[in-house]
Amino acid sequence: GEQVEQRPPHLSVREGDSAFIICTYTDSATAYFYWYKQEPGAGLQLLMSVFSNVDRKEEQGLTVLLNKKDKRLSLNLTAAHPGDSAVYFCAVSDDTNAYKVIFGKGTHLHVLP
Amino acid sequence: GGIITQTPKFLIGQEGQKLTLKCQQNFNHDTMYWYRQDSGKGLRLIYYSITENDLQKGDLSEGYDASREKKSSFSLTVTSAQKNEMAVFLCASDGGFSAETLYFGSGTRLTVL
């Protein structure tokens, strides 16, 4: 079945720097790609979603890149601030069963003031 | 806007005990999910339900039962709590085909003594 690897597990950056998180997946049928943010004591909040026909998407300081050839999904936070400190998860699902979303293990991002 | 309410927020149980977690949503969403979140392991799907009285097993269903009594509520039962078990159980719902519209509750944190 689908395997999703996310790295790094922990990331510390200084305020104003960029934070880069990457996920790789194994199933070439994967069609839907997501990034979620989880703040302490809260559930997951969708940051961005990308469908397989999109290579790049930018929104409000976030850039998602999708490389289907290498089966790689990345999230770049430009100019991070302390409020961005949270756990970030990538997630994927395929065309056959969008109900079964596979999550990465998460990246603990700490933005230092 | 809608909300997903999980109760209780914290649950402490004894080894071997049957424990029930509850989830309510007022989005009028058709599909609801239960995920288990362990530190360093991401989210794993336990059960999901695409409509009232429907139940579908996820990858981690062994040791759990679920019940979709009505469209707005989805409960999860740990059939026999394991000693020293600690995890967060997240309920989610979505109203469409793709998981883009996944909304999460804030979780129930389980500790088994």
> Per-residue pLDDT tens for A23-53?
999 998 888 899 999 998 888 999 998 988 8
- For residue range A56-94, what is the model confidence (pLDDT) as tens digits? 999 999 999 999 999 999 999 999 999 999 999 999 988
Average pLDDT for B86-108: 84
User: Which residues of chain B make contact with A93, given a CB cutoff of 8 A?
Assistant: 98-99
CB pairs under 8 A between A and B: 60
Q: What is the pLDDT of residue A95?
A: 67
Which residues share a beta bridge with B56? B48
CA-to-CA distance for A93 and B48, rounded, in angstroms?
15
Q: What is the pLDDT of residue B85?
A: 83
User: Which residues of chain A make contact with B33, given a CB cutoff of 8 A?
Assistant: 99
- For residue range B29-67, what is the model confidence (pLDDT) as tens digits? 989 999 999 987 889 999 999 999 999 999 899 999 999
Distance from CA of A15 to the nearest CA of B (A): 25
Tell me whether B27 touches chain A (CB under 8 Å): no
Contact A98 B90 (CB under 8 A): no
DSSP string spanning chain A? ---EEEE-SEEEEETTS-EEEEEEE--TTEEEEEEEEE-TTS-EEEEEEEETT-SEEEETTEEEEEETTTTEEEEEESS--GGG-EEEEEEEEESS-TT-PEE---EEEEEE-
CA-to-CA distance for A75 and A18, rounded, in angstroms?
10
3-state DSSP assignment of residue B99: helix
Residue A59 makes CB contacts below 8 A (sequence gap 6+) with A48
Give the nearest partner residue to A46 out of B33, B44, B100, using CB atoms.
Answer: B100
Q: What is the pLDDT of residue B99?
A: 52
Q: Which amino acid is at B108?
A: T
Q: What is the pLDDT of residue B98?
A: 57
Q: Which residue has the higher pLDDT, B21 or A31?
A: B21
- For residue range A98-107, what is the model confidence (pLDDT) as tens digits? 677 889 999 9
Q: Which amino acid is at B88?
A: V
CA-to-CA distance for A28 and A26, rounded, in angstroms?
6
Q: What is the mean pLDDT of chain B?
A: 91
CA-to-CA distance for B40 and A67, rounded, in angstroms?
25
Q: What is the pLDDT of residue A31?
A: 86
